[in-house]
Structure 1
Amino acid sequence: MIKAVLFDLDGTLLDRDASLIQLIKDQYNRFPEALHHISRDTYMKRFIELDAKGYVWKDKVYSELISEFDIKDLSVNHLLQDYLNHFQHHCIGFDNLHTTLKSLKNREMKLGIISNGRCQFQMDNIRGLGIEQLFDTILISECEDLRKPDPEIFERALMRLGVSAEEAVFVGDHPVNDVRAANGVGMKTVWKKDVHWKSAEADVVIEDLEEILKIVG
């Protein structure tokens, strides 16, 4: 019997691609004197390339952008702090995010998040989605001093929820950090399809979060 559902954040609950585009557009418009010698599309395209789906931290992204586009009067720290302050205001959830989570809670499912990332930034984004109060536990790699795919971070989440691996489902978009890692500790796994990855060895594949309701039903 399934008693708990755990989720990855970026690419699973948070539509990071759409959120990032909104943040970049907003940032571009906030600094017209420094950035408007570059076309918005060029700035956005290069940012997304350098960002590498979030696996490159933004200090390196901004350092490269400043160098490539000869950006004046804006330092790496200035742009990085702007990113940290404003991303939370552009967080876009995937379709049926809130209805799915609320339906799971109504079924008395325990809910958790396991996310790689920086503590304050990821918590701000969870709050930006308006979902923090729906979760029984939230583990962020920097706070835990552990990163997926380390099995210990999954085991720690299960312990905090008071369930066994066999009683839990993990939902994520990354074939290794999410699916393979959760499988490795004995959890059932759901791969939320992502255009950045071709496939994953999950128990179930979904395209919409709402499909989880049938899986745990």
Structure 2
Amino acid sequence: MKAVLFDLDGTLLNRDGSVQAFIENQYDRFYNDLKHMPKETYCSRFIELDKRGYVWKDKVYQQLLSEFDLSDLQWEKMLEDYISEFKHHCVPFDGLKEMLKELKSMNLQVGMITNGYGQFQMDNIEALGIKEFFDVILVSEWEGMKKPNQEIFHRALQRMNVDPFDSVFVGDHPDNDVYAAQQAGMKAIWKIDSGWDQVDADFIVKDLSEIPKIIDSLMKEAATSKSVLHTE
């Protein structure tokens, strides 16, 4: 193993926790315009419409303002607020930095491939304080393609000068992350997500702390195979 690559949302960034923290704070900041509706109603409906990030927020805010007749607010203003303020509410999964430090100590390259808008995702990465750990970061908007397109995986590996069979991809989405990485020739680790049931990954983890252990075992397995080949 020479490289480990990651998805961002739902894998390194606790997106559910981040969205909850952001939307509660947004309600408080726009309280004068929203006070006629319960905070819980505003927050829960936003989360429903957001569909775990797979609906961009222009559509979410347009629908939200229409449903609750929030005629004094402009969806453009709410979207601008989301873009500028979300980064202040980023919640990492437990053990994130410790896991990345351990991988770097193993002399591995570390990369990231994330779907989303370029600067928005970079702001979130910097807010988590993890940018320094990554040798390459590919964001779909800037690359002109997105997962599950295998080309974005190959592009990341080319920039790292690593072959697919010497790399592992870690993600939470069965198709965009796990299956797509496997199709690109990589091993895939699925980070368990409650939104999905069974996923046909090479490895399955619940916590980030499990990842270095898996990589270490793969490295030892490769070393043993190489030793056997030399002996023969």
TM surpasses 0.5: yes
**1:21-170, aligned counterparts within 5 Å?**
21-170=20-169
Q: Which amino acid aligns with 2:3?
A: A
Partner of 1:18: 17
**1:175-186, aligned counterparts within 5 Å?**
175-186=174-185
Q: Residue 17 of structure 1: CA displacement?
A: 0.2
Q: Which amino acid aligns with 1:185?
A: A
- Count of aligned positions: 216
Q: Which amino acid aligns with 2:177?
A: D
Q: Which amino acid aligns with 2:135?
A: D
State the identity %.
Answer: 55
In structure 1, the residue corresponding to 2:111 is in which secondary structure?
A: strand
| TM-score normalised by the chain length of structure 1 | 0.98
Gaps of 5+ in 1: none
| TM-score normalised by the chain length of structure 2 | 0.92
Alpha-carbon RMSD across the aligned residues, in angstroms, is 0.6
Q: Residue 191 of structure 1: CA displacement?
A: 0.1
Tell me how far apart the structure 2 counterparts of residues 72 and 106 of structure 1 sit (CA, whole Å): 54
Tell me how far apart the structure 2 counterparts of residues 74 and 138 of structure 1 sit (CA, whole Å): 36
Tell me how far apart the structure 1 counterparts of residues 183 and 42 of structure 2 sit (CA, whole Å): 40
Answer whether contact 1:191 1:202 (CA < 8 A) is retained: yes
Gaps of 5+ in 2: 217-232
Tell me how far apart the structure 1 counterparts of residues 158 and 199 of structure 2 sit (CA, whole Å): 26
Query: Deviations along 1:136-192, whole A, 9 cap, x unmatched?
Result: 000000000011000000000000111000110000000000000000011011000
Structure number with bigger Rg = 2
Tell me how far apart the structure 1 counterparts of residues 102 and 203 of structure 2 sit (CA, whole Å): 19
In structure 1, the residue corresponding to 2:17 is in which secondary structure?
A: helix
